[in-house]
Amino acid sequence: MSIWYIIDLVGTSVFAISGALSALSKKMYHDIIAILFIGFLTAVGGGTIRDVIMGAYPIAWIRDPNYLIVIITSVSLAVFCRKWWRGALKRPLLIFDTIGLGLFTILGMQKALLVGVNDWAAILLGIITALFGGVIRDTLVNDLPLILDRQLYVTPCLAGALLYQLNRFLGLDSTFNLILSACLITLVRLIAIRKDWTLPRIEN
């Protein structure tokens, strides 16, 4: 059982929790089955789209039941522990979504590089892995898409992906590189929200 496999399961768990918290934070009616289903789609959506684009079959959660077990456990935990946050779901949702963003960008890029995609396509596939679980989640709960949010969203993923590629060419150890790049994404996104960092708006 490699370290990558464990990190992949951790990312899956984190995004499943973010999907569950997102469903919980909606005013609409939600029972446990709907929350599980949205948690599942959030967790596997981005990676599934990446693998389908690359034609990299079989897809992880179909081959390996551990992904589904991790998702069911994580969503149940999120639902069970929701009282701890006393309804203040916004902050934990943000944190889990942002950790997932960092992990999935880099893991998605790594998977794409393993399959033999060129370096630029790998960056895009990493970003798609990170963003499209959330896009599916937001579409299903009828939320505004986050892509055009004021705060930096695509930008931190791109920055982390570029850092990973740079370190790779410099020959950095790949586990260390993953942790470093994923942390960069998570930190830049969190600080951008906190400090209201933005790129210059492009006016018409």
Q: Tokens at residue 166, please?
A: 């740079």
**Which of positions 155-174 make contact with a second copy (CB under 8 A)?**
155, 158
* Span of 6-14, 45-53, 91-99, 188-196 interacting with a second copy by CB under 8 A: 45-53
Angstrom distance (rounded) from CA 50 to CA 108:
7
Q: Tokens at residue 4, please?
A: 């990558």
* Span of 102-110, 148-156, 169-177, 179-187 interacting with a second copy by CB under 8 A: 148-156
Angstrom distance (rounded) from CA 66 to CA 203:
48
* Span of 3-11, 98-106, 119-127, 165-173 interacting with a second copy by CB under 8 A: 119-127
| 179 counts as binding a second copy under rule CB under 8 A | no
Q: What's the closest the beta carbon of residue 184 comes to a second copy, in angstroms?
A: 15
- List C-alpha distances in Å: 71 to 11, 79, 202: 10, 12, 40
* Span of 3-11, 118-126, 178-186, 188-196 interacting with a second copy by CB under 8 A: 118-126
Residue of 81, 84, 111 lying closest to 4 (CA atoms): 111
User: DSSP states of 17-85 as a string?
Assistant: HHHHHHHHHSSS---HHHHHHHHHHHHHHHHHHHHHHHT-PSPHHHH-THHHHHHHHHHHHHHHGGGGG
Q: What's the closest the beta carbon of residue 46 comes to a second copy, in angstroms?
A: 13
Residues in touch with a second copy (CB under 8 A)? 23-26, 28-35, 37-38, 40, 48, 52-55, 57-59, 61-63, 65, 68, 79, 82, 87, 89, 117-118, 120-121, 124-125, 127, 135, 139-142, 144-145, 147-150, 152-155, 158, 198-202, 204
